[in-house]
Amino acid sequence: MKVACIGAGSWGTAVARLLALNGHVTWLWAHSESTAGYINEHHKNPRYLVDCELPQNIIATSHLKDCLDAANALVFVVPSAHLRSVAQECSQFVRENIPAVVLTKGIENKTGKLMIDVVLDELPTCKEIACLSGPNHAEEVSRDLPSAAVVACKDPDRAIFFRDLFHAESFRVYVSDDPIGVEICAAAKNVIAIACGISRGFGTGDNTAALLMTRGLAEMSRLVNAYGGKAITCMGLAGMGDLIATCTSSHSRNAAFGRAFAEGESLEHYCERTHMVVEGALACISIREAAKKLNVDVPIADAVWNLLYGGFSFDDVFESLVQRTPKDEFYGLA
């Protein structure tokens, strides 16, 4: 099949390689014409995963029309802040009811919409859009280290279609009927990872990291429940699996940013230095807004927002968390 992979960052590059190795002609859309040209000439991405050799059946382009023409499947892997505008650009070239899957992780600011709903707004003829998430760092997937993900869609046939598209010997794919739960886990775990990184940067230990991760999992579960998803999804690959990887791995840009922030580096400088988007820094804004509308308690997301945008000190935020009155461990869940 011809697969259109929209986004040539580190994850998009790793995904394109995976699809190409599965035998699909993979068209990889890059925003920069020079990046697309370099990939076609050298079969490497000049900016991300620079040592990763890309298969010959990856064709890079900076033209969405060429990428989408006669495509059998559509894969979105662009940063959350740009997903709506890119999907809108795609709308004039996308055939009706093309199978589409979103790998972008986040919740849209102001609207509180999940990434699949953002795409559906711009591509209404796609009808049932799937999402794929899991504990997958691009650096390891690109080296064929054993990994797994879950693909979720309300249409079971569409979920199976994408399971078969992505599944490989080193990349196991499971299916779910809970895209809401998968999407919220994908966004919320990045916020918890920033909290863990900041905490580590200020000298706390493993106990504190475990505390943040488990209470973060409960926080994610309350939000999933309020959105109408299944809290049990938080115990799977998109929830606990991705939370562990993102909070503990040396590859995690969210945890790494948290450490850098604790050492005095600003969000803007970190993004400029690493050429990476810190999705958790965006997600904490939208999660906080959504939680207020849904009356959901999200103390860790609030704490991250207070540190990044509210001008609070670490000592003030830490004190506010530890002085909270303990509740039932799984409060806020139906």
Give Cβ neighbours of residue 70 (< 8 Å, ≥ 6 apart): 2
Give Cβ neighbours of residue 221 (< 8 Å, ≥ 6 apart): 231, 234, 239, 330, 332, 333
> Tokens at residue 64, please?
């969405």
Nearest Cα neighbor of 178 from 213, 211, 131, 210 is 131
**pLDDT tens digit sequence for 182-204:** 999 999 999 999 999 999 999 99
**pLDDT tens digit sequence for 130-163:** 999 999 999 999 999 999 999 999 999 999 999 9
Q: Check if the beta carbon of residue 182 is closer than 8 Å to that of residue 176.
A: yes
CB atoms within 10 A of CB 214: 14
- Under the banding of pLDDT at 50, 70 and 90, the label for residue 277 is confident
Give the pLDDT confidence score for residue 54 in this predicted structure: 98
Helix (H) or strand (E) segment spanning residue 221 = helix 206-227
**pLDDT tens digit sequence for 240-251:** 999 999 999 988
In DSSP notation, 233-282 reads: GGGSIIIIIHHHHHHH-TT-HHHHHHHHHHTT--HHHHHHHHT---HHHH
Give the pLDDT confidence score for residue 318 in this predicted structure: 87
CB atoms within 10 A of CB 70: 8
**pLDDT tens digit sequence for 83-120:** 999 999 999 999 999 999 999 999 998 888 999 999 99
Q: Supply the residues annotated as catalytic.
A: 189
Task: Specify which residues 74 forms β-bridges with.
Answer: 4, 100
- Rounded to a whole number of angstroms, the CA Rg of the chain reads 19
Q: What is the mean pLDDT of residues 215-240?
A: 95
> Tokens at residue 11, please?
């994850």
Structural domains present in the chain: 2-177 (3.40.50.720), 180-322 (1.10.1040.10)
Does position 333 have pLDDT exceeding 90, yes or no?
no
Give the pLDDT confidence score for residue 13 in this predicted structure: 98
Which three-class secondary structure state does DSSP give residue 207? helix
Q: Check if the beta carbon of residue 224 is closer than 8 Å to that of residue 233.
A: yes
Q: Check if the beta carbon of residue 33 is closer than 8 Å to that of residue 8.
A: no
**pLDDT tens digit sequence for 311-332:** 999 999 988 988 899 899 989 8
Q: What is the dihedral of CA 35, 40, 42, 44, to 10 degrees?
A: 60
Q: Which amino acid is at 74?
A: L
Does position 334 have pLDDT exceeding 80, yes or no?
no
Give Cβ neighbours of residue 81 (< 8 Å, ≥ 6 apart): 106, 277, 282
- Under the banding of pLDDT at 50, 70 and 90, the label for residue 262 is very high
* Phi, psi angles (nearest 5°) of residue 131: -135, 150
